[in-house]
Amino acid sequence: MKPTPRERARQQTMVEIIEIGRAHLEIHGAAGLSLRAVARDLGVVSSAIYRYVKNRDELLTLLVVDGYNALGDAVDAALKDVPAGDFRAQFRTTGRAVREWAVAEPAHYGLLFGSPVPGYEAPAEQTTMPGTRVVTRLVLILNEAYIAGELAAPERVLDPRLRADLAAIRQEMGVAMDDSALAAGVLAWSSLFGAVNFEVFGQYGAATFSVPAELFESHLDGLEAMVGLR
C-alpha cells in the first residue's frame, strides 16, 4: 500500500530533520544540539518541530540510529565485491571501512563511540540492532573462517564465568567458534574501534604519525595474527 501524500510529506520532513541535525552535530557537537535551531533551519516555527520530534533526546536517538546504519552501510558496500572465501580480505576490508567512515564523519562517529552525552541514554530497543551491525558482520566473517579451517586462535585458559558469557553469545548469534576463537573475536572488535578512536579523537598527538593509514594497516596485521587468521 502506497503512503498517502501526508505520510510522504512527513517522511520527507523527517529526512530533512536528520540532515539538519547531522549538520548541527558537526558544528555544535551532541551536547549543543537544539530543537529550536533545527526548526529555524527547517523553516518552521519552533513549536512545529514537536510534531515530528518530541525532545532533544529523541533527536539524538534519530542521529544515533542514522549513524550506526551509515557505518553499517559503509561496511556492507565495501565488502560487496570481496570474494566470499577470502576471509583475510573481508576482515581487513571491514576494518578499513570502519576507519574511513570514522575519519570522514568524526562528529557522527563521536556521537556513537565518544564521550556520553550528559543526561542522554540511548534506548536499547531502537539502537541495539543498528548498533551491532558491524560487530555481527565481523564475528560472522571470523566464524566462516573458523568453519573453513582458516582460523586458529591460540588456546586460552578462560574463567568459567567468561565461558558462560561466551556460550550465551554463541547461542544468540548462532556461531560455531570455540571459546578461544570467540574471545579473540571480541578482542579484535574492541581493538579495532580502539585504534580508530585514537586516530579520530587525536589521542596520538597531531604530529606523531605522518601516515595514519599505514599505522592502521600495521594494527590490522596484529589483529589478524591475534585472531589466528591464516
Whether 102 and 145 share a structural domain: yes
Whether 104 and 158 share a structural domain: yes
pLDDT value of position 132: 96
pLDDT value of position 5: 84
pTM of the predicted structure, to 2 decimals:
0.94
Whether 131 and 208 share a structural domain: yes
Q: Which residues contact 5 (CB under 8 A, 6 or more apart)?
A: none
**Residue 120 falls within a domain, yes or no?**
yes
Distance, CA of 130 to CA of 116 (rounded, Å)? 18
Which of 73, 196, 91 is CA-nearest to residue 142?
91
Whether 179 and 109 share a structural domain: yes
Domain that holds residue 222: 66-227
pLDDT tens per residue across all 230 residues of the chain? 788 888 899 999 999 999 999 999 999 999 899 999 999 999 999 899 999 999 999 999 999 999 999 999 999 999 999 999 999 999 999 999 999 999 999 999 999 999 999 899 999 999 999 999 999 999 999 999 999 999 998 898 999 999 999 999 999 999 999 999 999 999 999 999 999 999 999 999 988 999 999 999 999 999 999 999 98
Q: Output the DSSP codes for 167-190.
A: HHHHHHHT----HHHHHHHHHHHH
Which of 182, 186, 174, 131 is CA-nearest to residue 155?
182
**Residue 180 falls within a domain, yes or no?**
yes
For residue 191, which phi and psi values (nearest 5 degrees)?
A: -70, -40
Whether 42 and 83 share a structural domain: no
Look at the block and give the residue holding cell 510522504.
Answer: 8
Q: Which residues contact 139 (CB under 8 A, 6 or more apart)?
A: 173, 175, 177, 182, 185, 189
CATH of the domain at 215: 1.10.357.10
Distance, CA of 198 to CA of 113 (rounded, Å)? 11
pLDDT value of position 207: 87
Whether 45 and 78 share a structural domain: no
pLDDT value of position 144: 97
pLDDT value of position 15: 95
Q: What angle do CA 76, 222, 212 make, to 5 degrees?
A: 70
Number of domains present in the structure of the chain: 2
